[in-house]
Amino acid sequence: MIERKFVAQKIKEFQIEEYITQNLENVGHSHTKMIKTPLGEKIVIFASRPGLIVGRKGQNIKQLTRTLKKRFELENPQIEISEVENPNLDAHIIVEKIVDALERFGSEKFKAIGHRIMTDVLRSGALGIEIVISGKVPSARAKSWRFYSGYLKKCGDIANYVRKADAQAQLKTGIIGVKVSIMPPDLKLPDDIELVDKKEIKVEEIIEAKQEAVKEGPKRRRKRKNEGEGTKVNE
């Protein structure tokens, strides 16, 4: 019984996230996070343009709250909007930009769109990016075009941390699929090599010099003592 409750809860959360993603278009929506609090369900929406989600005098956010409460039977949904710090490093936002550009300018300028987006992402500090556009582009036959630059891992444990997203653009010629993979700059690779700073070497040399001075201390004391006794005898 407990397992069924957990599964039902996760299915409900997935349906809410999917509904929000489908209804929030052209607002730079990244992802949605649900947090259960004592007051009710807290829904955090991450987007690059939070003003469009809120709407004029908060009309859009109020309508979304009423819809979620009625459709998914939520007691007290609390919606919070969080702005994405760097939209060019978010795969979901980049996919939305490419789809919007294709639907606006058509499939004839897909190369210019791909290269421009790829340049913006790399300038933001990404280690690598890959964009795959598949469909009837630009001819009547379906093809796949791949734009890539930088360093991108596709296998191993590091590949699980690569940010990925996919979407579809609806054009007159048909549906075009878009896939984006971005390797973030804060991802630490296992083959990264860090050079030891010279300051650390100097510290080690100072420690060794102190240790030698401590060892030579008793010898110097004996030598001074012997020299003192010799002067007394001469007197």
State the alpha helices, DSSP H only, in 106-197.
110-123
Token digits of residue 9: 């809860």
Crossing angle of helices 91-105 and 110-123, in 10° steps, is: 150
Return the closest-CA partner of residue 181 out of 220, 143, 155: 155
Query: What pLDDT sits at residue 205?
Result: 64
Query: What pLDDT sits at residue 107?
Result: 82
Place of tokens 């110097």: 220
Domain positions in the chain: 2-84, 88-183, 195-235
Return the closest-CA partner of residue 161 out of 179, 186, 178: 186
Judged against a pLDDT cut of 60, whether residue 62 lies above it is answered with: yes
In a 10 Å sphere around its CB, with 0-12 CB exposed, 13-18 middle and 19+ buried, how is residue 195 labelled? exposed
Return the closest-CA partner of residue 30 out of 88, 110, 100: 88
If pLDDT is split at 50, 70 and 90, which confidence band does 4 have?
confident
Topology of 88-183 in CATH? Answer: Ribosomal protein S3 C-terminal domain (3.30.1140)
Query: What pLDDT sits at residue 214?
Result: 65
Long-range contacts of 5-11 (CB under 8 A, 24+ apart): none
Sheet of 78-83: strands edge to edge? 29-37, 40-47, 78-83
Q: What average pLDDT does this structure show over 179-186?
A: 91
- The pLDDT > 90 percentage for the chain reads 15
**Ramachandran angles phi, psi of 213, nearest 5°:** -65, -35
Please indicate whether residue 175 or residue 224 has the higher confidence score (pLDDT): 175
Amino acid in the structure at residue 44: V
Q: What average pLDDT does this structure show over 78-97?
A: 88
CATH of 2-84, one of 3.30.300.20, 3.40.1010.20, 1.20.1440.130, 3.30.565.10: 3.30.300.20
Q: What average pLDDT does this structure show over 153-165?
A: 87
pLDDT in tens, 7-42: 888 888 888 888 888 887 777 888 888 888 887 788
Place of tokens 């791949």: 146
If pLDDT is split at 50, 70 and 90, which confidence band does 231 have?
very low
Query: What pLDDT sits at residue 234?
Result: 42
Which are the contacts of 81, defined by CB distance < 8 A and separation ≥ 6?
44, 45, 47, 50, 53, 54, 61
Query: What pLDDT sits at residue 233?
Result: 42
CB neighbour burial string for 173-190, b if at least 16 within 10 angstroms, e if fewer: eeebbbbbbbbbeeeeee
Rounded-to-integer distance, Cα 31 and Cα 36, Å: 17
Judged against a pLDDT cut of 60, whether residue 199 lies above it is answered with: no
To the nearest whole number, what is the mean pLDDT of the chain?
81
* Common-topology check for domains 2-84 and 88-183: no
Judged against a pLDDT cut of 90, whether residue 137 lies above it is answered with: no
If pLDDT is split at 50, 70 and 90, which confidence band does 116 have?
very high
pTM of the model: 0.71
